[in-house]
């Protein structure tokens, strides 16, 4: 028996003209066909296109562009040859000032829809001076087909490989490293090191020019150890090579174990006068320029001897900066390797007498005697959690301690809004909401929010945002498709 056509009349193969009203964080545009929401990669708000339906779901449909009928003034020419196929960037087709306006709206919309904050003053995002060549870490997929080694990234919403020869959003040094890896994978004295390789991770310091390379394999590879010097001769700036092995899943970028086989464990980076040594596996923000802008924004709040508790502190990026500006800091982090690096970086900057690192899960650490005491003494709690956000026990411990000032830095507006709503119920008022464009050309946005005890004048104040060359060109985002975003939140987060 033939399946009945949906009540909307839509079925795969249906073609119609669609006007698009908004853009999701995954780069898909929102339109409607026969009253049904349609998601299509490529169009921008205000554009109209002839669209062919490819999938019909119970509450939405997915389509592809047949031809554009009207194009927006916000449209830009993508600068990467694999844009639209590679999953690394979502919005190279959107002019940079419009990207900034869009990200402001993403933050504003999440705070309203999820947090219930109707009239929040979201500042204009702080953009990059030059929104390309910024990523200081590159995780390449390694593929061996027909005896040839290729490097690339995953296709959008897929684990299919997109082979690349260059990448315009990574640091120039990392872009050059791609050619070096190809050379090393073909040269007789180094090619065996890539046999069985799953990923190649390169992290570089924009200031130092140093880079570290890690090759991920299922099992520990003796070939990587013996061939490492030959690889280093071909990959620009490499000062250390490691072998990551025993990944938890088939597509995990790094393994559970790490063997440092040649040279240094870490590369060095300097941001606002603070030196960091970071390994391939450590969490470290991918955009050093934007980290510097966040540092400069927070610096006025760091009065001498003001106590700061840094939750989810990683390798100590912010904790050590705070200490370098005179604050007394307690950093909490569950990853033992990150804590080791944080302590070493504190010594490197001669601030080990001003910062103390505690190894443990944040929710457990803030509940024990030492953690409670740290919160009781804190003038500021700084939170920079992973994408999943914080958790109620941690937020509850902060509120119970009555910490007067909170700085919450987030890469996920949805979980940020959720956590802010919980803090608001526990007696905190929002202060500054300042987005930073940590990830140009993508749908991701970093947001810093300050909070203080409601009804109390904040004792820690931060300045106006730092000016950037794009400020005069940022205009209001043209739309906010509330219906689509409220009805399909899971789709939005893909």
Q: Copy the structure tokens of residue 386.
A: 């992973």
Q: Is the pLDDT of residue 486 over 80?
A: no
Q: According to the model, what pLDDT value does residue 488 have?
A: 43
The burial of 109, by beta-carbon neighbours within 10 Å (0-12 exposed, 13-18 middle, 19 or more buried), is given as: buried
Beta strands across the sheet bearing 307-311: 355-359, 328-333, 307-311, 380-383, 405-410, 446-453, 428-436
Please say whether the dihedral angle defined by the alpha carbons of residues 407, 412, 413 and 414, taken in this order, is positive or negative.
negative
Q: According to the model, what pLDDT value does residue 455 have?
A: 86
Q: Is the pLDDT of residue 207 over 60?
A: yes
- Looking at the chain, the whole-number percentage of residues with pLDDT higher than 70 is 95
The burial of 61, by beta-carbon neighbours within 10 Å (0-12 exposed, 13-18 middle, 19 or more buried), is given as: buried
pLDDT confidence tier of residue 15, bands split at 50, 70 and 90: very high
Query: For the segment 381-403, what is each residue's pLDDT rounded down to a tens digit?
Result: 999 999 999 999 999 999 999 99
What gap in Å lies between CA 286 and CA 439, rounded to an integer?
8
Asked if residues 53 and 14 have their Cβ atoms less than 8 Å apart, the reply is yes
What gap in Å lies between CA 467 and CA 488, rounded to an integer?
36
Q: Is the pLDDT of residue 484 over 50?
A: no
* Helix H or strand E encompassing 436: strand 428-436
pLDDT confidence tier of residue 86, bands split at 50, 70 and 90: very high
Q: Is the pLDDT of residue 54 over 60?
A: yes
pLDDT confidence tier of residue 9, bands split at 50, 70 and 90: confident
Q: What is the mean pLDDT of the chain?
A: 92
For 17-23, what is the mean pLDDT? 94
Q: Is the pLDDT of residue 415 over 50?
A: yes
Q: According to the model, what pLDDT value does residue 238 have?
A: 97
Q: According to the model, what pLDDT value does residue 5 have?
A: 53
Q: Is the pLDDT of residue 492 over 50?
A: no
- Cα-to-chain-centroid distance, residue 451: 22
Asked if residues 134 and 169 have their Cβ atoms less than 8 Å apart, the reply is yes
Q: Is the pLDDT of residue 370 over 90?
A: no
Query: For the segment 146-199, what is each residue's pLDDT rounded down to a tens digit?
Result: 789 999 999 887 888 999 999 999 999 999 999 999 999 999 999 999 999 999
Asked if residues 90 and 27 have their Cβ atoms less than 8 Å apart, the reply is yes
- Of 10 and 179, more confident: 179
What gap in Å lies between CA 324 and CA 180, rounded to an integer?
37
Domains of the chain: 15-74 (2.40.50.140), 137-269 (2.40.50.1070)
CA dist 328 to 239, 310, 377, 397, 409, Å?
33, 10, 10, 20, 19
Q: Is the pLDDT of residue 360 over 80?
A: yes
Q: Is the pLDDT of residue 469 over 90?
A: no
pLDDT confidence tier of residue 490, bands split at 50, 70 and 90: very low
Asked if residues 327 and 308 have their Cβ atoms less than 8 Å apart, the reply is yes
Q: According to the model, what pLDDT value does residue 479 have?
A: 64
First to last CA, the chain: 35
What gap in Å lies between CA 273 and CA 39, rounded to an integer?
46
How many Cβ atoms are within 10 Å of 138's Cβ, its own excluded? 27
Q: Is the pLDDT of residue 2 over 90?
A: no
Q: Is the pLDDT of residue 45 over 70?
A: yes
Which residues, in sequence order, are bridge partners of residue 204? 211
Query: For the segment 224-247, what is each residue's pLDDT rounded down to a tens digit?
Result: 999 999 999 999 899 999 999 999
Q: According to the model, what pLDDT value does residue 275 have?
A: 97
Instruction: Please list the active-site residues.
Output: 411
């Amino acid at each position: 028996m033939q399946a009945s056509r949906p009540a909307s009349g839509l079925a795969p193969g249906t073609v119609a003209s669609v006007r698009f009203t908004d853009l999701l964080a995954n780069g898909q545009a929102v339109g409607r066909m026969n009253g049904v929401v349609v998601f299509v990669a490529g169009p921008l708000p205000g554009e109209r296109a002839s669209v062919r339906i490819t999938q019909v779901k119970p509450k939405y449909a997915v389509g592809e562009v047949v031809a554009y009928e009207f194009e927006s003034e916000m449209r830009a020419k993508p600068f990467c040859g694999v844009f639209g196929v590679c999953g690394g960037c979502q919005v190279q087709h959107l002019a940079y000032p419009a990207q900034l306006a869009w990200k402001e709206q993403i933050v504003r919309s999440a705070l309203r829809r999820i947090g219930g904050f109707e009239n929040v003053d979201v500042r204009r995002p702080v953009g990059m001076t030059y929104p390309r060549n910024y990523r200081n870490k590159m995780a390449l997929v390694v593929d061996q087909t027909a005896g040839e080694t290729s490097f690339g990234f995953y296709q959008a919403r897929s684990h299919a490989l997109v082979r690349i020869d260059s990448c315009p959003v990574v640091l120039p040094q990392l872009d050059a490293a791609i050619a070096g890896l190809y050379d090393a994978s073909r040269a007789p004295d180094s090619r065996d090191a890539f046999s069985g390789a799953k990923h190649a991770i390169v992290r570089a310091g924009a200031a130092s020019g140093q880079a570290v390379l890690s090759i991920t394999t299922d099992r520990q590879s003796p070939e990587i150890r013996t061939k490492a010097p030959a690889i280093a001769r071909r990959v620009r700036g490499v000062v250390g090579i490691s072998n990551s092995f025993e990944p938890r899943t088939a597509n995990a970028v790094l393994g559970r174990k790490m063997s440092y086989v040649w040279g240094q464990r870490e590369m060095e980076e300097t941001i606002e006068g603070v030196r960091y040594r970071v390994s391939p596996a450590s969490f470290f923000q991918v955009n050093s320029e934007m980290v510097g802008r966040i540092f400069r924004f927070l610096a006025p709040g760091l009065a001498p001897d003001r106590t700061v508790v840094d939750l989810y502190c990683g390798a100590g990026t912010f904790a050590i900066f705070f200490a370098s500006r005179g604050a007394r800091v307690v950093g909490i982090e569950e990853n033992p390797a990150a804590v080791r690096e944080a302590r070493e970086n504190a010594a490197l900057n001669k601030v080990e007498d001003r910062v103390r690192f505690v190894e443990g899960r944040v929710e457990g650490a803030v509940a024990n005697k030492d953690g409670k005491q740290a919160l009781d003494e804190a003038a500021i709690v700084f939170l920079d959690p992973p994408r999943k956000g914080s958790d109620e026990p941690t937020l509850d411990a902060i509120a119970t301690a009555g910490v007067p000032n909170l700085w919450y830095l987030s890469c996920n507006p949805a979980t940020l809004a959720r956590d802010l709503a919980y803090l608001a119920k526990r007696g905190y008022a929002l202060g500054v909401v300042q987005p930073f464009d940590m990830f140009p050309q993508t749908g991701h946005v970093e947001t810093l929010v300050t909070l203080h005890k409601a009804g109390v004048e904040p004792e820690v104040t931060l300045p106006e945002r730092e000016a950037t060359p794009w400020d005069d060109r940022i205009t209001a985002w043209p739309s906010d498709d509330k219906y689509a975003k409220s009805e399909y939140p899971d789709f939005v987060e893909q």
